[in-house]
Amino acid sequence: MVAILFWAVIVAFCFAAEVHTNALIAVFIGFGAAISFVLALGGLPFLVQAFAWLGVSAVTLVLLRPFAMRRFHHHAFEIDMSLPTNTAMTDMRGFVELPVGDANHPGRVKIQGESWKAVTDWPAQLPDGTAVVVRKAYGTTLWVEPV
């Protein structure tokens, strides 16, 4: 009875861990524990259950995890971080802290209390205190325009 409860707790723990981590590791360890749970119901010795757990977990991790990673973590689209993109910061407003120029002369802007590296496509450099709006981003560099 203790072994049955032990394996049930392991299965539940692995399920909860997988839900919170999404790493596709705990699911295979939990699968091994589920097999051991069935063996415990059949009355096999705990040592057999433990070896079955280790063996099934190892085999499924090695054989099935790579397939699962490709299947569930593959995105139909890939974001090209080398291109400027719209982000959650697009259209946010702030002000220039350090003069902002082109890509060769970046400055700093303050948006919602945080300081960000910024550049502009504007023909002239934006001086300190200029109100700006974010138009796009390149990694953590913001492209801004005066308001």
What pLDDT, on the 0 to 100 scale, is given for residue 9? Answer: 95
Please write down the long-range contacts of 99-103, taking CB distance under 8 Å and 24 or more positions apart. Answer: 99/125, 99/126, 99/127, 99/128, 100/125, 100/126, 100/130, 100/132, 100/144, 101/125, 101/126
User: What's the pLDDT tens digit per position in 54-70?
Assistant: 999 999 999 998 888 88
User: What's the pLDDT tens digit per position in 89-139?
Assistant: 899 999 999 999 998 899 999 999 999 999 998 888 999 999 999 998 888
Token pair 């325009």 in the structure block, residue: 145
Per-residue pLDDT band at 27 (split at 50, 70, 90): very high
Other beta carbons within 10 Å of 136:
16
Residues 6 or more apart whose Cβ sits within 8 Å of residue 105: 99, 119, 125
pTM value? 0.50
The per-residue pLDDT of the chain, averaged, comes to 89
What pLDDT, on the 0 to 100 scale, is given for residue 34? Answer: 95
For the chain, the domains span 2-72, 93-146
Considering the four listed CATH numbers 2.40.50.140, 1.25.40.10, 1.20.1250.20, 1.10.10.10, the one that applies to the domain covering 93-146 is 2.40.50.140
